[in-house]
Amino acid sequence: MMRTIPLSFSLVAAIAVTAQAQEWAEKMFTARSYNFGNIARGAKAEYAFELTNLYLEDVHIASVRVTCGCTTPRIERDTLKT
């Protein structure tokens, strides 16, 4: 019983740190999602997510991921100056 309490506390602390770590990055985006609506098969559709470095330090974008396999993300500049 005594072992589950510290483990539970550690898990809650880790989740809180992860949520806080994502907040600073989310603040840089003007939009976090975009709905293309209906697109004809084979048509090329693009959307550029704009982000601004609000912080004193340079920001390096190490990777980009998508929630589905139907898109291909591309990073135009991997380092954002202040």
The Cα-based distances of 11 to 4, 14, 18, 62, 80 in angstroms read: 10, 5, 11, 26, 33
H or E stretch at 14: helix 4-26
Report the predicted TM-score, pTM, of the whole model to 2 decimal places: 0.60
Per-residue pLDDT, 82? 85
Per-residue pLDDT, 44? 87
- What confidence tens digit (pLDDT) does each residue in 2-46 have? 454 444 444 444 444 455 658 888 899 888 888 889 989 888 888
